[in-house]
Every structure is written in C-alpha cells, then in structure tokens.
A = this chain, B = another copy of it.
Amino acid sequence: MTKTKSAAALPLNTIIDGDCIEVMNGLPEASVDLIFADPPYNLQLKGDLHRPDNSRVDAVDDEWDQFASFKVYDDFTKAWLKAARRILKPDGAIWVIGSYHNIFRVGAELQNQGYWILNDVVWRKSNPMPNFRGKRFTNAHETMIWAGRDESSKYTFNYEALKALNEGIQMRSDWVLPICTGHERLKDENGDKAHPTQKPESLLHRVLVGATNPGDVILDPFFGTGTTGAVAKMLGRDFIGIEREAAYRKVAEKRIAKVRKFDREALQVSVSKRAEPRVPFGQLVERGMLRPGEALYSPRGQVAKVRADGTLIGNDVKGSIHQVGAHLEGAPSCNGWTYWTFKQDGKKVPIDVLRQQIRSEMTN
C-alpha cells in the first residue's frame, strides 16, 4: 500500500468505536502528524473520598480505570504506545497527559520505545481541588510529555506563535490554566458531568497551536468527550478520535457538530524567519542593490568590500558575509545579514533591509 493512498483513506474527523490499540493497528502506518493522549490514570483510590462536610467527592472510579497492578498497566501502556508510534509520520510527535499515578510509567516506556522526549510540560491549575484531608500538598498540576517519534524527528514547533501567546516572552514549560468548569464542562442527561476528567479547551488550544499546522492530522486514542476534536476543528486541523464508550462518543459528536472553525486569517500565526525563503547574498549584487567594490561596515567600524561573486574581502580574510563577520568577532558563527551595514544617503543601513525587499517581492 502506498502512503498517499492510505493517507487518503484515513477516517478524518470521525469518532471510531472500539479499543484504541486495535483501531490504531488497523490504520495505515506513518499517516498521522500528532497524537494527543489522555490515558486512564490508574488512580488506585482506596475507598471513597469525602470532603470535610462529609459530602462525597466524585472520584475517578469508573470501571475502565481499575488496573490490577502496575504490570497490567505497563502492558497496556506498552501496547498503545507501540500502536501509536507505528501510525505516526517520521516527523510526527506525541503528547501524553497524566498525573503522578501513571506519568512516570508512561514516560519511561516512551523512552524505552525510542520516542525522544522534547519537554515535559506542567499544566499548573489555577483553581485545583484542595486536598481535603490536609495530608498532602494540593494536587495542583498535571504533567504532559511532549516527544518526537524518533530522536531525529523534525517535529513541528511554532515558536513565534507561542511567544506571541505569551506577550512576547518565550513560552515556558509551565502553563497556568484553569480547570474545565462552567458551561464548557459537558453534562449528561442527568445534569452530572459527562466525563470525569474533561480537559480544558485552553490546554488543547496551546498544544495544537504550538505543535501542529492547519491541515495536520491529529489522533486522540482516548477521545472521551472530544476536547481534542473540538479544538482541532476550531483550528482548522483534522482529527481522528477513538473511544469505546458509547456515551462519550455521543456527547462528543454533538459537541463537535456545534463547533465552528475559526476564520482563515485567525488561524495564521507568527512565523519565524527560519521559515521564510532563503535569499543568497549574491542576489543583492546581481540585482545591483550593492555594487562590487562597495564597502560594508561592521558594528565596530571595520570595513569589507563586496566582490562580484557575492563574497566579501576584508583586511586579511575573504568569504561569505557570515564567515568574514565571524572571523572579525572571533566567534564560532555570525549572522552576516544583521551584522553588516552599507551606506545609503550617508546613513548606515543594515543589509537585511535589502533582503526584506527581495522577500516582499517574492511573496507578491
């Protein structure tokens, strides 16, 4: 089977009924850009938990969350992570969220299978449930692991977009976001919460903006009430959900149907210079923006002359704009575009201005 054929055959934007391991094993290999997984937590709660006023806490005690032992949980973890890795594209990545009950086992198995951890990201809850018994710290965070399929995976990371989300400061590995409450929290027919561990859309928004591009395929093997699908749809990504509980699928279907995709312009995010087209310095000479023999100036006033082939010649060294700059600074590397200036109407102007002119012509 060819990759294109199978990729076209992906059940996009649907929720598949079944066990996630079996379903993933039935999907074509190397076909998914990102996996977001919120696996069962193996909470091992001993009996019921009560608040000081004796009201019962609605703990995570569903049948699917009971595992006899670490062994059973590890086998389960191995199996679904292996199935997930097979369907990931070579440059694909995975996010897994968990708590101290399960995240260490998940993280170790990720490493064992050859996934390459990129960050652990802490979701710091601004409004966590207190520890009612006063015997431990308020459990105020959960941990997400972000990992590439391989060490060599060229994973997607929208650095500039995340930086913009954070008011111009590089995004950190700890995210402060409130838990899912209020009208965002889905209810069943009885008015009870539809799912015990519904994640906030703000969390998925940050994950998907940061780690995917519009049109990417995102698979969620533990779809639940479909937060991943809802946010993927909003953001113009395709999703594949897998969920074996009919009640959750039903809620998710209804939820996602109501979601509207953001406008195309709203989906545009800041891009880094790295993603812009490369302009050889020689083009500036070819186009006559700089003439052979013209002088360029370093920040410290040193002079180099432009040669016809787009190299520079300084006092005792010649080479590219980067090489000569690095040599003058005694530095391992140098960005010649921002290092050198030329004289225009008597004022010194960075040569990067000329590159921007060419780039703006290219995108017209």
Which residues in A have some Cβ–Cβ distance to B below 8 Å? Answer: 48, 50, 54, 70, 99-101, 103-108, 110-112, 117-122, 124, 128, 130-131, 134-141, 143, 145-146, 157, 159, 162, 169-174, 272, 329, 331-334, 364
Contacts and interface: CB of A to CB of B under 8 A. Distances in A.
A134 B170 contact: yes
A143 B120 contact: yes
Contacts of A332: 48, 50, 54
Given A54-B334, A143-B143, 20 more contacts: A48-B332, A50-B332, A50-B333, A54-B333, A70-B111, A101-B117, A103-B104, A103-B107, A104-B110, A105-B111, A119-B137, A119-B139, A122-B124, A122-B174, A128-B172, A134-B170, A137-B162, A138-B173, A140-B173, A169-B364
B104 A106 contact: yes
A107 B159 CA distance: 30
Contacts of A137: 119, 121, 146, 162, 170-173
A181 to B, nearest CB: 18
A159 B134 contact: yes
Contacts of A124: 122, 124, 174
Contact of A159 (B119, B135, B333): B135
A120 to B, nearest CB: 4
* Top 9 closest pairs, chain A to chain B, by CB: A104-B107, A140-B172, A100-B120, A54-B331, A138-B172, A134-B159, A137-B173, A108-B108, A104-B108
Nearest to A131: B170
A104 B143 CA distance: 11
Contacts of A135: 157, 159
B70 A112 contact: yes
Contacts of A110: 104
29 contacts: A50-B332, A54-B331, A54-B332, A100-B107, A100-B117, A100-B120, A103-B107, A104-B106, A104-B107, A104-B108, A104-B110, A105-B111, A108-B108, A119-B139, A120-B143, A121-B137, A122-B122, A122-B174, A134-B159, A134-B170, A137-B172, A137-B173, A138-B170, A138-B171, A138-B173, A139-B173, A140-B174, A141-B173, A169-B364
